[in-house]
A and B are shown apart, each in its own frame.
Chain A
Amino acid sequence: MKKLVEHLSSMQFTTGILVSLMFWFAWGILLAESDPYREGFRMMNRLLAPAWFSTPDRLSPLLKLWFVGLCLVMVVLGINLIFCSWAKILKLMRSSQAASRLIMLIIHVVFGLVALGHFGSFVLGYRYENTKLQEGQSITLPQGYAVTVNKIHFEGDVKQLHQRPRDARPGAFNPESSFCEVALTRNGNPVSQGRAYFLRPFTWKDIQVTLKRFTPPKGIKGVDGKPGKPEIMLIISRNPVKMVVFILFPVMIAGIGIYMLITWRTRPNG
């Protein structure tokens, strides 16, 4: 038993897992760059993890295998992290370099929580991507919530709407003053309202309304006709663990910074 614990908490075991993860992500890059699986990854972005498995043909078996494999390796890394952290706590109690060891322990624990937060974001909450709406239209969400688009304000050349927002020429489209006004209701009662701009989403608690892009008005493709009001494409998401990651990630960075400062080696390595 003692040997097993030693093995599970060993650095050799950690490096083995890290190498496995490197291969796994390299395989992921190859899959994501290949035509048969590119759409599968897009679907993984549109939906949360439970939905990938709820319908048999939604995700290809290979991508399911890849994801399950990734989760398994991460679980093994988690086990290694727990045993390693426990060993560190024991060492900490009788160590002369207590400060650096304590910070290293904190960094590892926070890393574990950040990784858990990432996993939580795959399975918790909801996500509705590429929801096309016009002024006055609504989308209903779980728990009685609904989002209504009250106003769409687009400042620029409608021709630009046939391009991706990132490719828009300067001056032809003003992302700073183009927005949509949305209202959030629950069981018909107003909860909150506000504007969503590009890269400045509307948020209420952990519900986020993100303006992805404006789309051309229906029925008009060219520039000759007089276009009506553009539509918008929204991403509506709720991620209950978002704040955990957004708070802990800088804590981890700060921990590494402090560790670096107190262990900065100006003299031979120790």
Chain B
Amino acid sequence: MKSVITIGYVTACLLYTLTLITVLLRWDRLSRFLSVAALLLNAIILAAISIVSGQPPVFEGFPGLLFIAFVLGVLGTFLCPKEERHLSVRAWVWMEVLLLFGIMLFFTKEPPPHRFHYTYLWVVLFHGFRGVALSFAFFSAAHFIRFRMEPERRRANNPLFGQGRNFLLLSTLAFLCGEYAGIVWCQNGWGDFWHWSPAFFQSTLIILCLMFAFHIPGKNPRSDDLRSVVAIMTPLVMLTVVVVKGVS
């Protein structure tokens, strides 16, 4: 099974790379076709992991990252704005997907070990929502990166900024849904909804990052610049937490 998943991983990675190249070359039809093919393969690997392990492929390590890449890929394929330039939002999304695939290199490409609580609804929701939140945050970051590439005179009232903000808010919403699932899990498993532990502090740190991004004062270009930087950094903080958990 491990070799089948590894072959699938390499092929999906190749398809995503080709998608990025065709997006950079602005071969729109081909890039759309390749991205759908990559997503299909990604979905098949996720389904295979799920069937073999008997648990949803949302948990830390290889399956979790593959799930995040899949959701981000769906967003990149169907929700990106049309742009007349090489380094578009879509191109940044595929670069982010490839970053995730690069990190996956360091994880064992096999279904996760059986843990009895991995089929428990609140645990699945906790990890699932976190994965979705990170995908939205990356999608938002792609908009903000593009926003920052605009010349300063074109930054005021730029729709890229608005769309980046929308998806960051959606990411916050998904993350909080995950947190709620997490506190139900904690309450039922340990008799309390808060724990003094690194995992809880990391979650709080992510919430604070998101709060910070929405509380930067001022309605001027300088504030927007700062907001965009914080919004770009937030998925990196979230990804660090995912990677650290996956490694430990």
Contact = CB atoms under 8 A, between A and B. Distances in A.
Chain B, interface residues (CB within 8 Å), range: 35 or more
Interface in A247-270: 249-250, 252-253, 256-257, 259-260, 264-269
B208 A236 contact: no
A256 B217 contact: no
Contacts of A129: 191
Contacts of A242: 187, 193
A256 B169 contact: yes
A237 B217 CA distance: 42
Contacts of B194: 118, 121-122
Contacts of B190: 45, 210, 212, 235
Given A25-B208, A29-B202, A249-B180, A15 B191 contact: no
Contacts of A118: 194
Interface string B154-185: 00011101110110011011001101100111
B196 to A, nearest CB: 4
B115 to A, nearest CB: 5
B226 to A, nearest CB: 10
Interface stretch (A132-140, A195-203, A219-227): A195-203
A260 B170 contact: yes
Interface string A8-41: 0011101100110110011011001100000001
Contacts of A265: 159, 162-163, 165-166
Given A12-B217, A166-B115, A265-B163, A201 B188 contact: yes
Contacts of A3: none
A167 B116 CA distance: 8
Interface string B30-63: 0000000000000000000000001000000000
Interface string B106-131: 00000000111100101000000000
**Majority SS at the chain B contact face:** helix
Given A11-B215, A260-B169, A267 B162 contact: yes
B11 interface: no
B150 interface: no
Contact of B116 (A29, A198, A200): A198
Interface SS of chain A: helix, strand, loop or mixed?
helix
B212 A253 contact: no
A12 B212 CA distance: 11
Contacts of B195: 45
Most chain B beta-carbon neighbours within 10 Å: one of A129, A169, A252, A256: A256
Contacts of A122: 194
A148 interface: no
Given A14-B215, A25-B201, A29-B198, A253 B159 contact: no
A15 B212 contact: yes
A7 interface: no
Given A237-B191, A266-B162, A22 B116 contact: no
A125 B179 CA distance: 23
A212 B204 CA distance: 25
A232 interface: no
A14 B117 CA distance: 39
Contacts of B54: 170
B3 interface: no
A175 interface: yes
A185 interface: no
Interface in A42-97: 44-45
Interface in A166-210: 166-170, 173, 175, 198-201, 208, 210
A199 B120 contact: yes
A89 B196 CA distance: 35
Given A45-B197, A236-B191, A242-B187, A25 B173 contact: no
B192 A239 contact: yes
A246 B186 CA distance: 12
6 contacts: A15-B217, A201-B188, A239-B192, A246-B193, A264-B166, A269-B162
Interface of A: 10-12, 14-15, 18-19, 21-22, 25-26, 28-29, 32-33, 41, 44-45, 118, 121-122, 127, 129, 165-170, 173, 175, 198-201, 208, 210, 212, 235-237, 239, 242, 245-246, 249-250, 252-253, 256-257, 259-260, 264-269
